[in-house]
Amino acid sequence: MTRRKRLTDAGVKRLKPGHTDYTVWDTVTPGFGVRVRTSGFRGYVFHQRGQGNSRRVSLGPVTLKGVEGARRECLAIQLGGIAGRAGTGAKSRAGIPLFRDYVADPWMTGHCHRWKPSTRRTVESRLRSRLLPAFGHLPLDRITPASVDVWFDRYSATAPGGANQALALLRQIMNHAVSSGLIAMNPARSTRMNPRPRLTRFLSAEEIVRLHEALDRCVAEQPACAGQADIIRLLLYTGSRKSEIKNLKWFEVEGDTLRLADSKTGPRTVHLSADARDVIDRQRHRNCLFVFPSSANPGRPFGKDLPLWNRVRARAGLEGVRLHDVRHTYASQAVMKGIPLPVVARLLGHREVTMTLRYVHVGDREVIAAAERIGAAISLALDGPG
């Protein structure tokens, strides 16, 4: 049965996947519809009818544009305007799709079901704001290394980190096109990413003491900030990400472990030390879903930011130290205690040890001590048996 209705943004959002793929056709613009796949992907399509032939044009995911914007694209294609020529012409080889069409289907369709909602929003934002405006109108084999370099350099001038992330996404898409046999090589492969600043800040043993003393003083002066102080302490005791502790739920607390239902890398287990366990136990008086609930709405987790952090680091003389550096401190302390990198990677919830290496730093004192031990061992070997 053919489904027809006047498409609206609200109505498109309400479309649910079925047992098979289906299309809802618009009653306002002939040939315009929304394709809903069993995976949950929803994309605009336009069935263009010409003299003796017809073809279906993909207009991209519904999350990248509204219904009215998609209708305007249909009109441009019908009138043979600039957008129409981009959508129908510029072919260099038969069967080579435009970048925007390939992204919508098959690339987005084949990948979006694996992503977390936050990942999908990030990907769609980068496509909508950066990649589609630059390359959407080009056939895949018309995207050249030179054009990628020009785009990347222009973006890097204002946001080098964002340019790196968008380039990484472009490489994924074009690698998929290579593996699909549509292009011979990835035009984004040779573009060099912007160097990332080295993250070498972590707290020394003396700074850790000053941090705890500053936390104690702030709580004594303002007891209402005790929850924030305990979040900071738990970050230091566990090396967890801020979101993992801030959004921690009571059902995830099991004895001396945290069974996180979700994290940046999926479900994971965090083992609690005695100090970390004490911090958790101090929150037991709260009858809430979250261990650290919002003071304004106990049904929600604590707010996004920890305003206490700026005051505490000023008190402790830690200007310039980021809250995330507490996680670096945990990793560095683990390595300096002789814990192997694969174990540290598991403690931090990293899938790859290479990511852990970015978090691990060793202080000058530890380097000097290690050099002394190595030198003594070499001297002993040179002296030989006495």
Q: Which amino acid is at 380?
A: L
- Could you report the per-residue pLDDT of 279-307, keeping only the tens digit for each? 999 887 767 889 999 888 888 888 777 88
Fold classified for 93-197: DNA polymerase; domain 1 (1.10.150)
User: What pLDDT is stored for residue 30 in this prediction?
Assistant: 83
Q: pLDDT band at 68, cuts 50/70/90?
A: confident
Token pair for 203: 């707290």
Task: Enumerate the β-bridge partners of residue 55.
Answer: 48
Token pair for 289: 């879903």
| Sequence-ordered list of residues with C-beta below 8 angstroms from that of 5, at least 6 positions apart, any chain | 11, 24, 25, 26, 27
Strand order in the sheet with 32-36: 3-5, 22-26, 32-36, 42-49, 54-61
Q: Print the SS3 string covering 169-225.
A: HHHHHHHHHHHCCCCCCCCCCCCCCCCCCCCCCCCCHHHHHHHHHHHHHHHHHCHHH
Higher-pLDDT residue of 209 and 115 is 209
Nearest to 138 by CA among 156, 157, 122, 151: 151
- Could you report the per-residue pLDDT of 21-30, keeping only the tens digit for each? 999 999 888 8
Positions of CATH 3.30.160.390 in the chain: 1-89
| Sequence-ordered list of residues with C-beta below 8 angstroms from that of 11, at least 6 positions apart, any chain | 5
Higher-pLDDT residue of 384 and 309 is 309
**Distance separating alpha carbons of residues 202 and 370, to the nearest angstrom:** 19
Q: Which H or E element spans position 24?
A: strand 22-26
Nearest to 78 by CA among 68, 67, 88, 69: 88
Q: pLDDT band at 104, cuts 50/70/90?
A: confident
Q: Which amino acid is at 348?
A: L
User: What pLDDT is stored for residue 35 in this prediction?
Assistant: 92
Residue 90, classed as helix, strand or coil, is: coil
Cα 207–chain centre separation? 31
Q: Which amino acid is at 28?
A: V
Token pair for 82: 């600039």
Average pLDDT, whole number, for the chain?
81
Positions of CATH 1.10.150.130 in the chain: 93-197
Q: Which H or E element spans position 268?
A: strand 268-271
**Distance separating alpha carbons of residues 61 and 273, to the nearest angstrom:** 46
Token pair for 5: 């209705």
Give DSSP secondary structure letters for 305-343: --THHHHHHHHTT-TT--TTHHHHHHHHHHHHTT--HHH
Instruction: Please determine, for residue 184, whether its predicted confidence score (pLDDT) is greater than 60.
Output: yes
Domain 205-367 homologous superfamily, CATH: Intergrase catalytic core (1.10.443.10)
Percent of the chain with pLDDT over 70: 81
User: What pLDDT is stored for residue 84 in this prediction?
Assistant: 40
Tokens 């830690």, residue located: 318
Task: Enumerate the β-bridge partners of residue 44.
Answer: 34, 60
**314 CB-contact burial (10 Å; exposed 0-12 / middle 13-18 / buried 19+):** exposed
Fold classified for 1-89: Double Stranded RNA Binding Domain (3.30.160)
Instruction: Tell how many helices (H) and how many strands (E) occur in the chain.
Output: 18, 8
Q: pLDDT band at 198, cuts 50/70/90?
A: low
- Could you report the per-residue pLDDT of 3-49, keeping only the tens digit for each? 889 999 999 999 999 889 999 999 888 889 999 988 888 989 888 76
Instruction: Please determine, for residue 371, whether its predicted confidence score (pLDDT) is greater than 60.
Output: no
- Could you report the per-residue pLDDT of 143-156, keeping only the tens digit for each? 999 999 999 999 99
Q: Which amino acid is at 210?
A: R
Positions of CATH 1.10.443.10 in the chain: 205-367
